[in-house]
A and B are shown apart, each in its own frame.
Chain A
Amino acid sequence: MEGWDPNTKSTLTQIPLLATKAGPRDGATWTQRLKEEYKALIAYTQMNKSNDNDWFRISAANPEGTRWTGKCWYVHNLLKYEFDLQFDIPVTYPSTAPEIELPQLDGKTQKMYRGGKICLTVHFKPLWAKNCPRFGIAHALCLGLAPWLAAEIPILVDSGMIKHKDDATSSTDS
């Protein structure tokens, strides 16, 4: 795992790993996988809250668990910036990682594909491939979205591409 931030590494090792290799078209085994996904997400969220680093909300947008939506936020210069997030579970999951999208930032940064899909570092895909199927949605958030926010949001804010909302969410907890 060379090239990763040490915080990311240590957080990642504490997120429970998944065991079932199943994609969204695999019926009962997909349901088993979904349960493991939930357990990992619950553990990760609880860990974040206890570390005072609560940075996302996520829930399944359909009962099959093939589409997920939520919010993520990043604090820069004492201001909290919040963004909607969404993604579909690809049909060849978990061999292929989900492509996380932040539609509000579409077109604002070079590190993003059309439609708001975040562009991940060169380290992400090999690591995901090597650890398939043990990594899940929680790991994709930890390894993919979190470093992306840390790298991109400060630049976007400082260059004026995004502005803080006046009805700031920084004073309330969620």
Chain B
Amino acid sequence: MQGIGGVAAEMLTRCGIGRLLLYDYDKVGMTKTDAAVQTLSDINPDVVLESYTLNITTVHGFETFISSLKNKSFHPTEEGSGVDLVLSCVDNYEARMAVNQACNELNQTWMESDAVSGHRRLLIPGETACFACAPPLVVASGVDERTLKRRGFVQHLCLPQCTKYTEALAQFGHVSPYLQGCNSLKDYFPTMEMRPNPQCSHAVCLERQKEYLLAKPARDAAAKTKMEAESFLATGIPLHADNEWNIRRVTAADTTTTTIDDLEELTKQLDALNA
């Protein structure tokens, strides 16, 4: 709820988004998310605002994060998780990895932005690279992302993309998958696509990639049908909508091993050394 997140939340509220969930673990007197809810509800009282104060990188916080995203009470009949888009506006690698993990598990499209490199990207589990598919430059080069100074610019890029994406649900505009940055001297916005890494270290990402590939025939058929529909519509011939099926690989159940005794013994051994 700071440089990128605060501004994004405000702009989305002003645009009249239906529901906004805000997550931050920090306080400014009161919790940051409660403060944000107060300010934002003054701006636009029609937006449903939910405030969560938690650290999503802990196991407990993460579980709360996931279940809040799954909550479909706002639009019970919609497919997918309870939200249309997750916007990650965090400033550290650990939190991004946690969001990545959650979105991979929920098959949730999300957007990630980073003020160090000035980039913004769209992540669709299985279709585009997930955050773990390619290690970020920050970790590889050892730059401490918290020392960055130029933070202000990225929210201006992130927000229009996010708005376009929500409109893209209504098929408006084109959201580029990876906006690398902005060369303002030349008015040049380099963009690119990032495919998933078939050797990604996240097992869930690999699952999503398989699902995406398996669903390809259905997607191609759907695209073809859509093209045919557009040409047939004028003549009023009825069409059959393709059924898209989701083939899922059933993961093998974890073999349970009798580890309790071993673990207890090891705990006792460590405690003995601690004494």
Contacts and interface: CB of A to CB of B under 8 A. Distances in A.
Given A28-B257, A34-B263, A91 B269 contact: no
A88 B200 CA distance: 25
B263 A38 contact: yes
A111 B239 CA distance: 65
Contact of A35 (B62, B140, B202, B263): B263
Given A114-B26, A125-B142, A92 B135 contact: no
A77 B157 CA distance: 53
Q: Which of A28, A58, A90 has the most CB of B within 10 A?
A: A90
B57 A95 contact: no
B256 A88 contact: no
B259 A46 contact: no
A36 B262 CA distance: 11
Given A96-B94, A122-B143, A49 B273 contact: yes
A2 B167 CA distance: 49
Contacts of B55: 88
A18 B256 CA distance: 20
B201 A132 contact: yes
A96 B144 contact: no
A126 interface: yes
B270 A38 contact: yes
B230 interface: no
A140 to B, nearest CB: 13
Nearest to A25: B59
Nearest to B143: A122
B139 interface: yes
Contacts of B275: 174
A151 to B, nearest CB: 15
B142 to A, nearest CB: 4
Interface string A107-131: 0000001100001001101100100
B259 A31 contact: yes
Contacts of B274: 45, 57-59, 70, 174
A144 to B, nearest CB: 13
A90 B140 CA distance: 20
Nearest to B132: A95
A42 B240 CA distance: 65
Contacts of B259: 28, 31-32, 35
B220 interface: no
A115 to B, nearest CB: 9
18 contacts: A28-B254, A31-B257, A35-B259, A35-B262, A35-B263, A38-B270, A42-B266, A42-B270, A45-B270, A45-B273, A90-B57, A90-B58, A91-B98, A96-B97, A122-B144, A125-B139, A126-B140, A129-B139
> What 3 pairs across the A-B complex have the smallest Cβ distances?
A38-B266, A122-B142, A91-B62
